[in-house]
Amino acid sequence: MDSDNDCPNLIPIAAPLESAQPILPTDGGDQSTGKLPVTLITGFLGSGKTTLLNYILAEEHGKRIAVIMNEFGDTRDIEKSLTIGQDGGLVEEWLELRNGCLCCTVKDSGIKAIEQLMTKRGRFDYILLETTGLADPGPIAAMFWQNEELGSELYLDGVITVVDAKYICQYLTSGSGADSPQASKTPGPSDGTVPEGSLSPSSSPPTVNEAQRQIALADRILINKVDLVSAEDLQAVKERLRAINPTAETFTSERSRIPLEVVLDIHAYAFDTARMSYLEKMQNNPPAPHLKDDITTICFPANSHHPLRRTLVDRWLQVLLWEKCIPEVRSKPTDGSPRWTGITIAEPALSPVTASADNELQVYRLKGLLNLMDDADASEQIGSPHTAGQPFIVQGVQELFDFQAVLATGDEPLNFILVLIGKHLPRRGLEDSWAQLVAAHSDSN
């Protein structure tokens, strides 16, 4: 395919496949659990997201991939070729490709709706879920992550954000979109279709908040169209992206051509210390904030002489994510026991967050490697100067977070750290609150 407007070769679908037998995974999916991986593909108008989807679908990768797009997505080059069939609240538009992959468009991208579609069409090895270029991927990512814990057959493999190397910095600094590079795009052809990167009469360019959120929530960022920028400009783009989300791996491409392992089966939410090693590097080389970006990253060192109590860290995150305010760490003297045994964490008497939703504290992503201890273990080891604890990885998307114990590998000591990515984060207040929590655990008097 030589352009974004090319569409994969099609095979006509003669009849619905409600009676199709399930197709077992070949080399895709989670073989241990039988769950199906879902990769969320997000990106702005003109970033090359359509080209990426077409490239994946046309490749001979041996997987039966279902690409699911919402009805208002900007992959019109694919959507215009679909056969429409409507059933109640669900709109199912199916397009079958020569390599066994299928595309479909649905109004409802909820977990149950997607599982129903999979039941009708047979088993797949992989699902790519495309979001509209103007969408916030956070609620969708959180939905998949939450339903995985509730026994869903699907699990979130990762969030891939595609950005245009030439225009991404302009997107990030354009509040209203009036000066967006996409505003100067020419109208589409007379048949009514709109090429990727063009604006329909009812759409508008992404605002700075939308662009930043898509980057903040990414597990991997694909910087596309690097052949259109100089080496200096590309480096500036990388630094800008790192200022927003230093935890996301970045890759470069021309015309969205990238090794498939960059996009598929990345296991971004897998719990192992090897995948979190980059967090240790951030302690010594934190990202420099960009004055034009509303989203910031805060890195909290978490090394202490005594492991942190898991229940206290859990409560600290609850107050931060659910109550959207700075946790107040209170400690009271105890009779000869370590001071951390008297710690309580609560909302402040007067919340620093006002009623204005525009200035509300918001955490989009959190990642960390922490040395934790359950309360029962902590009680048994009060006064011990060399308590080891257990390494835990913590990950979160918006208001959801989870801990997972991991086995430390190698002889090198682990550097423990917690990273928050969000908007309107009161850096000084959060740093002080976290420091109080860590210091109380380090105090053995």
pLDDT digits 0-9 by tens, 293-318: 578 888 888 876 678 889 889 999 99
User: Residues 265, 330: one domain?
Assistant: no
CATH of the domain at 427: 3.30.1220.10
> Is residue 150 in a domain?
yes
Read off the pLDDT of residues 229-287 as tens digits, 9 standing for 90 and up: 999 999 999 999 988 888 888 999 999 899 988 999 988 887 665 555 556 556 555 55
Between CA 129 and CA 39 the distance in angstroms is 6
Burial of residue 319, with CB atoms counted within 10 A of its CB: 0-12 exposed, 13-18 middle, 19 or more buried: buried
Residue 226 confidence (pLDDT): 94
The mean pLDDT value for 380-398 works out to 69
User: Residues 183, 298: one domain?
Assistant: no
Residue 134 has pLDDT above 60, yes or no: no
Q: Which of 240, 269, 298 is the last residue of a domain?
A: 269
> Is residue 74 in a domain?
yes
User: Residues 263, 411: one domain?
Assistant: no
Residue 106 confidence (pLDDT): 52
Is the four-CA dihedral 356, 359, 364, 369 of positive or negative sign? negative
In terms of Cα–Cα distance, which of 323, 208, 308, 218 is closest to 263? 218
- Say which residue, 3 or 274, is predicted with more confidence: 274
User: Residues 189, 306: one domain?
Assistant: no
Entry pTM: 0.70
Q: Which of 235, 269, 303 is the last residue of a domain?
A: 269
User: Residues 248, 306: one domain?
Assistant: no
**Torsion over CA of 271, 274, 278 and 284, rounded to 10 degrees?**
110
In this structure, are residues 72 and 190 in contact, taking their beta carbons and an 8 Å threshold? Answer: no
For 47-84, letters b (16+ CB in 10 Å) and e give bbbbbbbbbbbbeebebbbbbbbbebbbbbbbbeebee
Residue 328 has pLDDT above 60, yes or no: yes
If one counts the domains in the chain, the total is 2
**Percent of residues, the chain, with pLDDT higher than 70:** 51
Residue 83 has pLDDT above 50, yes or no: no
Residue 305: count other Cβ atoms within 10 Å of its Cβ. 12
In this structure, are residues 393 and 366 in contact, taking their beta carbons and an 8 Å threshold? Answer: no
User: Residues 256, 114: one domain?
Assistant: yes
Between 41-50, 178-187, 326-335, the lowest mean confidence (pLDDT) is in: 178-187
User: Residues 170, 284: one domain?
Assistant: no
User: Residues 255, 290: one domain?
Assistant: no
The single-letter code of the amino acid at 26 is T
Residue 420 has pLDDT above 70, yes or no: yes
Give, rounded to a whole angstrom, the gap between the first and last alpha carbons of the chain: 69
Between CA 305 and CA 441 the distance in angstroms is 7
Model confidence at 78, pLDDT cuts 50, 70, 90, reads: very low
Residue 188 confidence (pLDDT): 36
Rounded to the nearest 5 degrees, what angle is found at the Cα of 375, between the Cα atoms of 369 and 381? 95
Residue 205 confidence (pLDDT): 43
Model confidence at 133, pLDDT cuts 50, 70, 90, reads: low
Between 108-112, 223-227, 428-432, the lowest mean confidence (pLDDT) is in: 108-112
User: Residues 310, 167: one domain?
Assistant: no
Write the CA distances from 148 to 153, 156, 433, integer angstroms: 7, 8, 32
Residue 18 confidence (pLDDT): 30
Q: Which of 202, 234, 269 is the last residue of a domain?
A: 269
Domain of 62? 10-269
Residue 55 confidence (pLDDT): 85
Residue 68 confidence (pLDDT): 76
Query: Looking up tokens 């039966």, which residue turns up?
Result: 64
User: Residues 240, 314: one domain?
Assistant: no
> Is residue 424 in a domain?
yes
Residue 385 confidence (pLDDT): 47
